[in-house]
Chains A and B, each alone.
Chain A
Amino acid sequence: MARQTVVLKNRYFDSVFLMQVARRIAARPGIGDASALLGTEANLGVLAAMGYGGLEGAGPGDLVLALAGEAAAVAAVAADPEALLARGSAPAGAARAPRTLAEAAAARPDAGVALISVPGEHAAREARAALEAGLNVFLFSSNVPVEEELALKTLARDRGLIVMGPDCGTAYLGGAGLGFANAVRPGPIGVVGATGTGLQEFSCLVDQAGSGLSCGIGTGGRDLADAVGGISTFTALEALEADPATRVIAVLAKPPGPATTARLLARLGRCPKPVVLCLLGAAPAGAPGGVQLAGTLDAAAGLALAAAGVPGPWPWSGDPASLRPRAAAALARLRPEQRRLRGLFAGGTFCYQAQAILRDAGLAVASNAPLKGMPGLPEAGPQGDTLVDLGAEEFVQGRPHPMIDATLRRQRLEREGRDPEVAVLLLDFILGAMSAPDPVGDLLEAIRAAREAARARGGELCVAASVCGTDRDAQGLAAQRRALGGAGVELFPTSAQAAAFCREAMDLLKEAP
């Protein structure tokens, strides 16, 4: 098999487009494997580990094509890489696209929002240019230092604007869904979220109950840290209070800093509209009148729906009492060495919420994105019980988010499938405009193979999962769920309920001799 790399200097393409290019190349006859990546340190390391050479001199501004397969097929691609990189030509007579944000803003003075998803090291510069041009910013990029975040948000506040992000996955503004947004109907609930997938799950649960959103404002996960002080959250609250379409306000976040918690509670106490506050993993001791506290996304959606005049039960309401017998049945055929829980998440909030649900039952799990007081992932050796957020910064530098590209999660799933100690696998699937066309399909073979391998060892592998989405999402909630059900997966209507099932399963495994 021939291997070849092609380095194209100073050629930038976004990571989602490059994933599509790599797939197009890999589909050509005679090509066994193909990667199209920016030359970031992490990507060059991955390619070197795969046995590719010729990477000296490649840098983060360069495009690297790595090709493996029959010599003639590899040579044909390497001879004319440009043919594979054409995005489709602009129609004749079309104006040249603007090359900078300032140029675009000058051409469209009526523009209101800049969506910025460039690599993190360039993101703050572009966000500043947008604010200076009078634009609100939706900042999808991650890896932006907190000092930069504070400077950008301060500039935005001074100008009557907002920065949603960095690392902001989703927002709903003026009827438009941004980023990973799901197809959610309009309604009376306005939500502010410092948790990307948390905002998605909340919105989908509201939609599934027949209600909808007036507006959804992402703020970035660090907005309520004391280092930032909740600048975007407070701007969003002001806007939602003034918005006549918003009758109920929900605020979703991981635990804020202590100083910001106190300010947030005082601010929410003055809000003239009903407020639901969900602080995952750390409920405050008390809240002012008019503010209802929720410990999970399910509880937050339920309280907001009730305040909006949509009383439960809702289609996703579960029966907590059914979880333990269901877990006992699912674990009945395990071998004695099968003791471990492994969670592989595309949604960072789901990983976080699952840790909180397990911790509250006295169960410790390690994670690469650990809750306060929980252990980090072991570098090597026995892995124990682990929950991995595959959307964390270390996994997405120079490559698409796991909601778009399932490759890393599939590889990890295959590894867990070979581990005879694994009893329960916990997965999430997230639908939406930008998600992969078939998120369940991307992992289905790996799930089946892992379950068959466990059976071949004389045991059984329990796979628990939930799907975040609506039936108007292109992937179709019902179809994705059916596919999981057909593969013998223990399916739950919400991520919190899947995690609660795992809590019961772990508890049973601890009790077992």
Chain B
Amino acid sequence: MAELFQDLLRHPPVFINLGVRGFGDALRESGFEVVDVDWSPPAGGDPALAALLDDLL
């Protein structure tokens, strides 16, 4: 059962926003709670290196 997902349909969720800041701003302006992540590409923008680091940690 997709219980964790079904809960969402009943209650206004709290959002975590990662990437385009405007998506979070639009939700906030509509009265929803949003946590913005100050994201930057891991490992200097090299996805292969980031994956390697994930494996090591």
Contact = CB atoms under 8 A, between A and B. Distances in A.
A77 interface: no
Contact of A174 (B13, B19, B40): B13
Contacts, number: 175
A401 to B, nearest CB: 10
A111 to B, nearest CB: 4
A136 interface: yes
B27 A178 contact: yes
Given A16-B21, A87-B21, 20 more contacts: A14-B20, A16-B22, A99-B38, A99-B39, A100-B39, A110-B14, A112-B4, A112-B8, A112-B11, A118-B19, A136-B5, A160-B2, A173-B8, A174-B13, A177-B26, A214-B9, A243-B6, A433-B26, A434-B22, A434-B23
Nearest to B2: A235
B36 A10 contact: no
Contacts of B16: 101, 104-105, 108, 111, 113-115, 130, 135
B5 to A, nearest CB: 5
Interface string A167-210: 00000011111110000000000000000000000000000000
B45 A61 contact: yes
Interface in B5-53: 5-24, 26-27, 30, 32-33, 35-42, 44-47, 50-51
The 9 closest A-B pairs by CB, nearest first: A61-B45, A117-B19, A112-B13, A97-B38, A433-B26, A12-B40, A117-B20, A118-B19, A160-B4
Interface stretch (A29-37, A121-129, A298-306, A443-451): A121-129
B9 to A, nearest CB: 5
A10 B45 contact: yes
B1 interface: yes
B52 to A, nearest CB: 12
A99 B28 CA distance: 19
B45 to A, nearest CB: 2
B54 to A, nearest CB: 7
Interface in A123-175: 125-126, 130, 134-136, 140-141, 157, 159-162, 173-175
A10 B46 CA distance: 11
A495 interface: no
Contacts of B46: 61
Contacts of B22: 14, 16-17, 434
Contacts of A111: 13-16, 35
B20 A16 contact: yes
Given A104-B37, A176-B12, A176-B32, A242 B6 contact: yes
Contact of B21 (A17, A112, A173): A17
Contact of B14 (A108, A160, A215, A242): A108
Contacts of B44: 10, 61
A112 B12 CA distance: 9
Given A111-B16, A116-B18, A101 B9 contact: no
B20 A140 contact: yes
Contacts of A177: 26, 30
A125 B48 CA distance: 11
Given A98-B35, A98-B38, A117-B18, A176 B27 contact: yes
A121 B47 CA distance: 6
A215 B2 CA distance: 15
Contact of A12 (B4, B23, B30, B41): B41
A179 B15 CA distance: 12
A178 B23 contact: yes
B18 A215 contact: no
A135 to B, nearest CB: 7
B5 A160 contact: yes
Nearest to B26: A433
Contacts of A240: 9
A268 B42 CA distance: 42
Contacts of A162: 2, 5
A285 to B, nearest CB: 30
26 contacts: A15-B20, A16-B20, A17-B22, A87-B21, A97-B38, A99-B39, A101-B37, A104-B35, A107-B35, A108-B14, A110-B14, A111-B13, A112-B14, A113-B15, A115-B24, A115-B27, A136-B4, A141-B19, A159-B4, A160-B2, A160-B5, A174-B13, A214-B9, A239-B6, A243-B10, A434-B20
